[in-house]
Structure 1
């Protein structure tokens, strides 16, 4: 069920529609992303190359609300309104306090295209947000491509049994042709077709994210012991149970989109940042799925850190934990002069001290943490780090500190990162987020 609204003012044609569904929330995913407000994002353009002058003519932003989700679209009535579409979209992300974007292949297309058009048009906005690209996650961590071939969004939707939910009847290429006609005659039927195609892309991505994320992504990551209905132990979709799943979920559109599929509490999605993520994380033990912890850290930008102001990709090598990433800032956290990146160096006092470099020019950073070793295990004394975090007043630091203190791998203030040759991905991730946040906040 949806509620539709259209607004036409001096700026843009703006369309909103609300749905009784939700954006994925799962125990492990929320360990790193909880408390950050997401937006599922998609654009429509007049072609594939922003450098060659192709334009953005339509955007869609799906965000959570108190009753489900709302999709907001900004449509150009002709190619010359591209500036208005982009500005309205960036203002929307700022006004809605969006912390990160969820896309499908957005890291390769939607985000670079937006950045290029912002630069080309010399518009006073910066798009430098954390993003989670579901396409990158599937491609990098699953064997789905070998099973189904193309990983196009529509092909993946078909594999998971939700392609029949789509209400649009055109492809992206057809949308380009239709817009050219719409720019001339403003045909309301064509307008509806174009809007529906764009809106269905973000709505279906929302559904797809919910389905793939079931049981902490256990099925697609091959974690057969998670008991994912409709999948075998190798993480292969069983087409024979699709109808049973539809019945079990009690939905006319394949899946019930009103209940969390992994049984987790998802209230933090619709609450103030940090309001319930910390308490939820400490209410019950976090289930084990080391593949998901590793996959989230190593896919695309890596993990969000410092409340989404950094990315963090950890790597263990030569007795050292290296954390590298980028300095980011969501639109609502940008200052007027949009100057957010820092230059800073942390020099080691001893051979066992942490060193770090933050580079403003390319918005990057790198941290090196020497580890202690005993036989095939590696560890670090984090007593002072935990004390500093608990007294910092910073939500990210406090959350990481509490989770690390509850870890069975924290022994007498020493945190195990490698146990008998096996990397402990969750401890590595939480420590990486904690260290990067602490250093960033000290400047």
Structure 2
């Protein structure tokens, strides 16, 4: 297996025991870049906790744990590295019970790790390496003090690793405060998104965004996609509306219980529904096979969120598409994101069940009647069409037609009487006037 660029540059530095600040686009293999050397340094014969990975969300933590399991499952039990999730929101008692198995590496959220330290259920005295995945998000969530509490209990010569797709000023400031001569690894920092991802935006009124999403899904036919909104409180309401208009969608809410979230993620991975509706925090760091499209129903609050959203697709060189659905008032935000991230976000429209360039739909609509009128129409056919519009059935051109008499000629020509009229006149002949009048009244 050929290592990716981030793996080729970061792994030697981590193996050398250096503190590392690593930045690379999402989907380039950052997880293995720190996990492989961390696992190699662990002594499986020891019963002590020797390595920690901090994450901002439960989903990312469970994902990393699955990677560890896949890397160690073929190793004999007595030589295997034991791992455990220590995630906030999960049952604390169960995690405490499982700690009796003496894990060598733990993957957890900063708050839960600190909670267990306070309960004296774990110790980080033997932890030599601490990796923080999606470090910019961990710091943004206000966990810097928890990180300091964990670092304080570790060995003095410990190793600290920062990994993320975006390295903000806060990350650099944290590195200066907490690291010693850190090695900086930046893979194509000027290219913040994968070159295999296309970017488009569609403009509609705010009230029409859900229907626009429905039409886009119908046209693009994504195999699997994530739809992003900004507010957790909107998740279930939007899910209900999207399901009502016929979309195959489920929601991933940070307010949902651990079991419910796990079921939704498992069903999504198995392809049981097409679209996952989520917030930025809920979907942070998710690595799900086969995601082809990202839809921004709400625009991200900043550039970093845009990068992490679109990074859920186009992973490891695969193609992906990021689609923003914006109101006229939000177009300037899209233009700003494109400018600051040095990417091209193409403006597109839908017309006739197809994706077209802006204005192309209006051009085609106007061109159709003019094209029809440009063809010369014989005068005889024009007369026939006029007759059709008036309600008369036009006769084929070339048929022999009898000359139509004028009104004066029609008045001068006596009309042939019907048998009924002849019989009525016969009965009235010689009848008294009162009888004739009575018969005419009945008629």
Q: What TM-score, normalized to structure 2?
A: 0.24
Q: What TM-score, normalized to structure 1?
A: 0.24
